[in-house]
Amino acid sequence: MADRKNILVTGATGNQGGAVARELLARDHSVRAMTRKPESANARKLAALGAEVVIGDLDDEASVAKALAGMWGAFAVQNTWEAGVEKEEVQGKRFAKAARQAGVQHFVYSSVGSAHRKTGIPHFENKWRIEETVRGLGFPTHVVLRPVFFMENFLSPWFKPGIDSGKLAIAVKPETALQMIAVEDIGKYGLWAFENPEKSSGRGIDIAGDARTMPEAAAIIGKAAGRRVEFVSVPIEEVRKGSEDYAIMLEWFDRVGYDVDIAGTARESGIRPTTLPEWAARAAWRP
């Protein structure tokens, strides 16, 4: 049997995969970091930390099979906004099946918060179907992590240009409290899932670190950035022009929203949640 410290991490040069890889490496796990860009700066940083960086593409079955060979564990994540809803589902199901065929003993899949709640959001529903595939494959142990809205989204092209000009623009109501998580905490939960396979097996664990209204978030970000930032409510019709999927999600935030027991999950895992003020104080806000 493969050494239980041998773990393949997909998306290793991205946010989630990178965070999980770094946490595993810090605890002396043997990490094989799969990426399409082995020469990238992020890949070189992981190699410097001790990772075995390998080239792999979720659309290339041969490269995936090669990357999975000899692994005890695997961390799986896909990117909706890059692949699209349908392709992401194909990638997720195909990777899970390849991992089972390769003899992976413990499979950790990063889904999305509330994927199990019949949200009607396309990029939530496809992850639920991937979860169902993972459960049906019969891994000796597996766990599904379900992170909520990323704090790092505030640094993305969706929000950062507006923040640079003093506006946090998003199509949600000012009274809506949005649960969110720092990517570094996803890494910590990934480590926890790999180091407690029997305890976490078969579970879907929703994870979050804080909950804030967007006016609160604007004030927190403004304080950290050293400038005034105001919340601006964008008409949902404008969002829908660019992405029906994204618009449906924002409407769901207002109508229903995530329901993570932040304190309870923190107690069980021993992971102290990163709050938005803590995260914002460390973020790079300079234009």
pLDDT digits (tens, 9 = 90+) for 184-195: 999 999 999 999
**Three-class DSSP category at 103:** coil
**Residue 263: closest CA among 255, 273, 254:** 273
Strand pairing class (73-76; 106-110): parallel
Kindly report the length of the chain. Answer: 287
Give the pLDDT confidence score for residue 4 in this predicted structure.
60
* Per-residue confidence band for 267, with pLDDT thresholds at 50, 70 and 90: very high
- For residue 31, the SS3 value is strand
- Reading the block at residue 163, the tokens are 């923040």
Average pLDDT over residues 245-256: 98
**How confident is the model over 196-228, as pLDDT tens digits?**
998 889 999 999 999 999 999 999 999 999 999
Can you name the residues that pair with 33 across neighbouring β-strands? 9, 53
The tens digit of pLDDT for each residue in 15-63 reads: 999 999 999 999 999 999 999 999 999 999 999 999 999 999 999 999 9
Task: Write the CB contacts of 95 (distance below 8 Å, at least 6 apart in sequence).
Answer: 10, 58, 64, 74, 76, 78
* Structural domains of the chain, with CATH: 6-148+183-208+259-271 (3.40.50.720)
Q: How confident is the model at residue 3 (pLDDT cuts 50, 70, 90)?
A: low
Average pLDDT across the chain, whole number: 96
Q: How confident is the model at residue 2 (pLDDT cuts 50, 70, 90)?
A: low
Quick one: pLDDT at residue 5?
A: 82
Percent of the chain with pLDDT over 90: 94
Q: What average pLDDT does range 158-170 have in this prediction? A: 97
When pLDDT is averaged across residues 70-81 and rounded to a whole number, the result is: 94
What is the number of helices (H) and of strands (E) in the chain? 14, 12
Burial class of residue 270 (count of CB atoms within 10 Å of its CB; 0-12, 13-18, 19+): exposed
Cβ neighbourhood burial of 244 (10 Å; 0-12, 13-18, 19+): exposed
Q: Mean per-residue pLDDT for 127-138?
A: 98
For the cut 70, the answer to whether the pLDDT of residue 83 exceeds it is: yes
| DSSP symbol at 34 | E
pLDDT tier for residue 1 given thresholds of 50, 70 and 90:
very low
